[in-house]
Amino acid sequence: MAFGVWVGCTPFYGLQTVIGLALATVLRLNRVAVLLGMQISIPPLAPFLLFANAQVGALVLRGHWLSVSLETMRAAPSSKLVAELFSDLLVGGAIVGAALALPAGLLTTYLVRRSRRPQTAA
């Protein structure tokens, strides 16, 4: 589950399923759990996830938050803007993905272990 959440936070929309299933197979992980974890990037959450990834990536790579004003976007050359934004999304996706994957993995582990405990007679 945690690995799926981490892959779901990457900016490779459209390829996440292929990447997740391929890596889950190679790493011998539960493919269904990986697919369920990747659902973090569903359309209603994707804009917020992309924004968080870009902001965290800009903070880590350049030491300041990403400016989202229209003037800043127009002033920057588009090739530089696209390259910086993709690197921000890549780095931020890895960090945000790890930050979301840890609690998701711990919660899943807790719930699975709890459901597998033998039930005591009341």
pLDDT (tens digit per residue) in 21-76: 999 999 999 999 999 999 999 999 999 999 999 999 999 999 999 888 888 888 88
Dist. CA 119–CA 41, nearest whole Å: 35
Q: How wide is the angle at C-alpha 39 spanned by C-alphas 34 and 43, nearest 5°?
A: 155
pTM of the model: 0.87
Mean pLDDT of the chain: 93
Q: pLDDT above 90 covers what percent of the chain?
A: 79
pLDDT in tens, 61-104: 999 998 888 888 888 888 888 999 999 999 999 999 999 999 99
pLDDT at 51: 95
pLDDT in tens, 96-112: 999 999 999 999 999 99
Reference 67, options 44, 45, 48, 84; nearest CA is 84
pLDDT at 122: 59
Within 8 A by CB and 6+ apart from 101, the residues are 2, 3, 5, 6, 9, 37
